[in-house]
A and B are shown apart, each in its own frame.
Chain A
Amino acid sequence: MPAIIKAHVPWCCVVSALLLCACASLQRPMPVNPAGPEHRERCRLPFPVAPARFINAIEAQLPDGKKMTLIGITVIDPGGRAVRAAIMTIEGLLLFDASTRNDVITLYRALPPFDGPEFRSALLRDVQFLLLPPAGEPQQCGILNNGSSICRYGLADGRAIDVIVHPDNSWELQEYKNGSGATRTAQGAAAAGGLPGTVVLQGLQPQPYRLQLRPISAEPAKAGDAK
């Protein structure tokens, strides 16, 4: 290999990596293949259709790189678009308990460092992102080259959410804000054995964090349980 090429190989790798990273955060182009109603229906697969209660082990990686493991309890009422979420330590201390319905938050308990208003809003937004389908109908639906179904939702606040369901029933969610690149993503494994699959949620902006949710239990709930 000529020396000049050799000398530039590392830089080419760096630039390529940067380009790949940049592409990864941009909203993907919608496929041109038309999608039938069955693909639109498949985009509902990641979200519960009836009230349910989930208990998860949450491995959290914080913006400073530190890790901690907590237990999360979530009750969801899809019809009422209501969510109640609680976080406790492995030892059983309840750190946080709040619900939201129609963007109104009710706080039942919040201990430091989970007592800030920004935290409670962000946490409930994360839960809604994972468990409630985006409001309204998708603006576009399509089929990716690998056979995955994709639905793109445009929200009133300027966000866009892509829901992608793969042929093996694993799925992805990608949230974008006003064309500024991805703000949040989630990847979920297919449900198995009566439990949802493991979910990895990544917050990308304004500060990066990562949550891995490993299901402990899932059961039907009543709509009123999400209050």
Chain B
Amino acid sequence: MRPQGIHIMHHARFIAVLFCTGFLCAGWTDSWESIRKESAKVSSISARFTQTKRMKILTSPLVSHGTFCFKAPDFVRWAYDAPVKSVLLLHQGRSRRFTRGHSGWTEDAGIGAAATSVMLQEIMLWSTGRFTESQGFTAELLAGTAPRIQLRPRDSSLGRIISGIEIIPAPDRPGMIQSIIIREGEGNTTTLDFADVKINARLEDGLFRKP
């Protein structure tokens, strides 16, 4: 069992991985094998996302917006435009987060280098469609008319943070994810909806550098 603190430190990267994972699963709805096959065809992804946070303390959800970019083999940029401008960068197992505050862009202390290596393993597995080899989550592929992937934490320490994840593909666009729902228990959920998805478009290296 990994320490609970490690899981927390990984959270920011974790959601970025979910984005990455979803788009990389082109054509995955039939079987795990087709997921792995389609994943190999993706060299880059860009998309806009809307994050909707529902909690008991809120009467109406807190909505955030941003953009997600992935470039093979291991560049990820996950940026929020509102309500707080921030950029999360992942590359070669190192993650950095920058937020824009009253004194401009500053690097956030919340992401520790020590935690990166564990999550990177998840990234590598998921980005190649190998859900079932994840050490953090078990994966179940639910095929049918409304196919989805359900992820469940393998150990209780992670389960106290995230009780489950559901990945829902776009029904009319093979290879694209419509939504990701992250459940934290007690009715608290984070839903990520994607739009303006571009696959294998040219992405400049500068996108993946600090703002």
Q: Is B31 an interface residue (CB 8 A)?
A: no
Confirm or deny: B84 has a beta carbon within 8 angstroms of a beta carbon on chain A: yes
Contact B110 A68 (CB under 8 A): yes
Least distance between B143 CB and chain A CB atoms (Å): 29
**Contact residues in B for A11 (Cβ distance below 8 Å):** none
Report the bound CA distance from A216 to B80 in whole Å.
14
Residue of B nearest to A64 (CB): B109
- Asked if A111 and B86 make an inter-chain contact with CB atoms under 8 angstroms apart, the answer reads no
Residues facing B in A75-114 (CB within 8 A) are 75, 84, 86, 88-95, 97, 108-109, 111-113
Interface: A66 (CB within 8 A) = yes
* Chain A interfacial residues counted at CB < 8 A: 35
The answer to whether A59 touches B57, judged by C-beta atoms less than 8 angstroms apart, is: no
Per the CB 8 Å criterion, the residue count for chain B at the interface is 35
> What does the 1/0 interface line of B48-72 toward A look like (CB < 8 Å)?
0001010111110010100000000
Residue A62 at the B interface, CB < 8 A?
yes
Which residues of the other chain, A, contact B102 by a CB distance below 8 angstroms? 59, 198, 212, 214
- Are A90 and B99 CB-contacts (below 8 A) given A66-B109, A71-B62? yes
Instruction: Please name the residue on chain B nearest to A86 by beta carbon.
Output: B57
A89 CA to B86 CA, complexed, in Å: 11
B138 contacts the other chain (CB 8 A): no
Determine the chain A residues whose CB is within 8 A of the CB of B84 once the complex forms. Answer: 57, 69, 71, 90, 216
Q: Does B196 touch A at the CB level, under 8 Å?
A: no
Q: B132 an interface residue at 8 Å Cβ cutoff?
A: no
Q: Which of B146-154, B167-175, B183-191 is found at the contact surface with chain A?
A: B183-191
CA separation between A57 and B64, bound complex, in Å? 12
| B15 interface contact, C-beta 8 A | yes
Count of CB-CB pairs between chains A and B under 8 Å: 95
Contact with B along A105-133 (1 / 0, CB 8 A): 00011011100000000000000000000
Asked if A69 and B12 sit within 8 Å, CB to CB, the answer is no
Please tell me which one of the listed residues A68, A75, A95, A221 contacts residue B8 in the complex, with CB atoms under 8 A apart.
A95
A contact residues around B55 at 8 Å (CB): 73, 86, 88, 94, 97
With A55-B83, A198-B102 given, can you name 10 additional A-B contacts, CB distance below 8 Å?
A59-B101, A67-B106, A69-B86, A71-B62, A73-B57, A88-B53, A90-B64, A93-B8, A221-B59, A225-B57
A residues with a Cβ closer than 8 A to B are: 53, 55, 57, 59, 62, 66-69, 71, 73, 75, 84, 86, 88-95, 97, 108-109, 111-113, 198, 212, 214, 216, 219, 221, 225
Q: List 10 A-B contacts (CB under 8 A).
A: A68-B109, A69-B101, A84-B57, A89-B11, A90-B86, A91-B88, A97-B57, A109-B184, A112-B5, A198-B102
Q: B interface vs A, CB < 8 Å?
A: 4-5, 8, 11-12, 15, 51, 53, 55-59, 62, 64, 80, 83-84, 86, 88, 99, 101-102, 106-110, 160-161, 182, 184, 186, 188, 190
